[in-house]
Chain A
Amino acid sequence: EPEVTQTPSHQVTQMGQEVILRCVPISNHLYFYWYRQILGQKVEFLVSFYNNEISEKSEIFDDQFSVERPDGSNFTLKIRSTKLEDSAMYFCASSAPTLVSPDEQYFGPGTRLTVT
């Protein structure tokens, strides 16, 4: 069964460093998302991406964040200058939508980002 994959599974970085989190969405999907989950808290929406541009972003997604679909398969989240509070699990998700299952979002296993 197709699935969303993410790399790396765990990233440790120092405050102020840039990180790039990578995702490979399900191949025929059209919408791509990033969410994050700070330990013990809710899963929070960061950004959605469709047709090679951001379709929606949250207040969390400030100028330090960017997303890119550099080729036909990868979808990346870049944090330019990490802060301690960026430590979280970051989830990539994708959805078709299609007439059969218009809105189901399928999540990857996550990347645990630790900023020290």
Chain B
Amino acid sequence: SQQGEEDPQALSIQEGENATMNCSYKTSINNLQWYRQNSGRGLVHLILIRSNEREKHSGRLRVTLDTSKKSSSLLITASRAADTASYFCATDAWGGGSEKLVFGKGTKLTVNP
């Protein structure tokens, strides 16, 4: 089964608009993390939300987690051209003993100036 599937696969918006990306997963988790990757570059950690949390904010980022639906969303408000990147969710398995992250395929966000 696939873990951490994001949608949409690609999203194109105008600067100033909000961008919402979704992630679904199949197994129980300890936490879910969102990462950003600029083209051909490394992964930048954005935010971690634990399984007992429902919402978390960091600057222009807002993450929600619905464990009953096994889904999460990442909202970027007032987007900027510099937000253009691919965004990935990554989950780790519930139960401890494993720190392995399972990544989705990502959403490619383009913010047009």
A residues in contact (CB < 8 Å) with B = 31, 33, 35, 41-45, 48, 50, 55-56, 58, 89, 91, 93, 95, 97, 101-110, 112
- DSSP majority for the B interface? strand
User: A103-B30, A103-B31, A104-B33 given as contacts; is B43 within 8 A of A43 (CB)?
Assistant: yes
Total B residues in contact with A, Cβ cutoff 8 Å = 23
B residues in contact (CB < 8 Å) with A = 30-31, 33, 35, 40-45, 48, 88, 90, 92, 98-106
User: A104-B48, A107-B42 given as contacts; is B101 within 8 A of A45 (CB)?
Assistant: yes
A48 and B43 within 8 A (CB): no
What is the bound-complex CA distance between A109 and B43, given in angstroms? 7
Q: What are 24 A-B contacts defined by CB distance under 8 Å?
A: A42-B103, A43-B88, A43-B90, A45-B101, A48-B98, A48-B100, A55-B98, A55-B99, A56-B99, A56-B100, A58-B100, A89-B40, A95-B99, A102-B31, A103-B30, A103-B33, A104-B33, A104-B48, A105-B33, A107-B35, A107-B44, A108-B42, A109-B42, A110-B41
